[in-house]
Structure 1
Amino acid sequence: MLIVGLTGGIGAGKSEVSRLLVEHGAHLVDADRIAREVVEPGTPGLAAVAEAFGESVLAADGSLDRPRLGEIVFADPERRAVLNGIVHPLVGARSAELQSQAPEDGVVVHDVPLLTENGLAELYDLVIVVDVAPQTQVERLVRARGMSEEEARARMAAQAGREERLAVADIVIDNEVSLDALRGRVAEVWAELDARAKAGR
């Protein structure tokens, strides 16, 4: 089994690359999706968050009020650490469970937005970074997500810089290209990943 970490800055197109890898046969473990799952209504995760932060972080329907929780934790590193202490172990356990379901000669791709920031590169056999120029990130965030340029740059500033991400990369996928060219590059990368998985890395 080959364990791959996939990351990239906001707006780089990581989701598209992960989708293409899944089309080729990769087993995807999506950290963001799992982080949402572990605090859905009725989960021990949501109960722990409500206990730590109070009922004000719950919406009227009993689900997590993410904007409210965000206001609390983004301004306060200590509160953010409390939240991470609840959520990260749950995400880790669910990720391990999903990984264990892949075949022995399979390729497991962990889609981890904050791989670089959290120093997680050592957890993977290989790290793939989806790379674009910072200006491309800004343009995509403004165009596709409706952010102002200031909002886009603020979100980018909260993440690792381009050089930091590239420093942990074993494979770089340039996404300043057409979708057809991206498909071709991902197919090349998949051939390498699949061969390594079947050869036992």
Structure 2
Amino acid sequence: MKIAITGGIGSGKSYVCRLLEQRGIEVYDCDAAAKRLMRTSDRLQQQLKALVGDAVYSADGVLQKPVLAEFLLASEANKLAINDIVHPAVADDFAASGKQWLESAILFESGFDRRIAFDYIVCVTAPRPVRIQRIVQRDNITPERAAEWIDVQMSQQEVAQHSDFCIQNDGESDLQAQIDDILRQIAINN
């Protein structure tokens, strides 16, 4: 069985994943995996060099994030080209990991929902003011910048519509009870 957890920036999906891990459920972190693969995969490094140029890695093989970011932000086509290299590698790595649960902030935007046949998708949501406050505190940025980050992602309403379950992480709702309910429903249906 494959289960994805998604939600926009500041929704608290990583916190929900930590609660799952406290229950003994290992969750594959797509962001961490992408960073690891860009550091360690020879194939991925060769593909990125062919696309971006040799300067994307230093002579000793260290990813040059400013070079990658400059290329990525230069155009939508560049962003899509990078994604077409990194996302399939992450999907393959997840498939080889043996883990059932995957965390991805951009599950639908990245196409992971089409690359991997998920049995269930869980969306973590939170009210916009709560999300902004979390982002501001975590990343030490202005509320306006946090709002911009939220606005470039798929709306949480749209993500929720494509999901099987939603967890309301508003700082008041009982997360453990919501997780219990989802785990119970998944067990009943399988």
TM-superposed deviation, 1:153: 1.5
Q: 1:138 and 1:31 mapped to 2: Cα distance?
A: 23
Confirm whether residue 93 of structure 1 aligns to residue 85 of structure 2: no
Contact 1:121–1:168 under 8 Å retained in 2: no
Q: 1:31 and 1:191 mapped to 2: Cα distance?
A: 25
Q: 1:14 and 1:67 mapped to 2: Cα distance?
A: 27
Contact 2:10–2:132 under 8 Å retained in 1: yes
Q: Which amino acid is 1:112 matched to?
A: S
Deviation per residue, 1:80-115 (Å, 9 max, x gap): 2221222122112111101xx35xxxxx11111111
Contact 1:8–1:129 under 8 Å retained in 2: yes
CA 1:119–1:39 in 2, change beyond 3 Å: closer, same or farther? Answer: closer
CA 1:82–1:146 in 2, change beyond 3 Å: closer, same or farther? Answer: same
- The alignment-based identity, stated in percent, is 26
1:115 to 104, 107, 130: 107
Contact 2:83–2:110 under 8 Å retained in 1: no
Confirm whether residue 172 of structure 1 aligns to residue 171 of structure 2: no
Confirm whether residue 157 of structure 1 aligns to residue 156 of structure 2: no
- Tell me the equivalent position of 2:43: 44
TM-superposed deviation, 1:119: 4.8
CA 1:129–1:61 in 2, change beyond 3 Å: closer, same or farther? Answer: same
Q: 1:5 and 1:132 mapped to 2: Cα distance?
A: 18
TM-superposed deviation, 1:42: 6.0
- Tell me the equivalent position of 1:131: 125
TM-superposed deviation, 1:120: 4.2
Deviation larger for 59-68 or 26-35: 59-68
User: Which secondary structure does the structure 2 equivalent of 1:40 belong to?
Assistant: helix
- Tell me the equivalent position of 2:22: 23
CA 1:70–1:151 in 2, change beyond 3 Å: closer, same or farther? Answer: same
Structure 1 length-normalised TM: 0.83
Q: CA RMSD, aligned part only?
A: 2.2
Q: 1:189 and 1:50 mapped to 2: Cα distance?
A: 43
- Tell me the equivalent position of 1:78: 77
TM-superposed deviation, 1:167: 0.7
Contact 2:136–2:143 under 8 Å retained in 1: yes
Contact 1:21–1:190 under 8 Å retained in 2: no
Q: 2:160 and 2:26 mapped to 1: Cα distance?
A: 24
Contact 2:125–2:168 under 8 Å retained in 1: yes
Aligned residues: 188
Structure 2 length-normalised TM: 0.87
Contact 2:8–2:105 under 8 Å retained in 1: yes
TM-superposed deviation, 1:12: 0.7
TM-superposed deviation, 1:121: 4.0
Confirm whether residue 35 of structure 1 aligns to residue 34 of structure 2: yes
Q: Which amino acid is 2:22 matched to?
A: E
- Tell me the equivalent position of 1:105: none
Deviation per residue, 1:140-185 (Å, 9 max, x gap): 1112221112221221122101211111121110101348x22332
Q: 1:150 and 1:125 mapped to 2: Cα distance?
A: 37
Q: 2:44 and 2:96 mapped to 1: Cα distance?
A: 17
2:176 to 159, 163, 183: 183
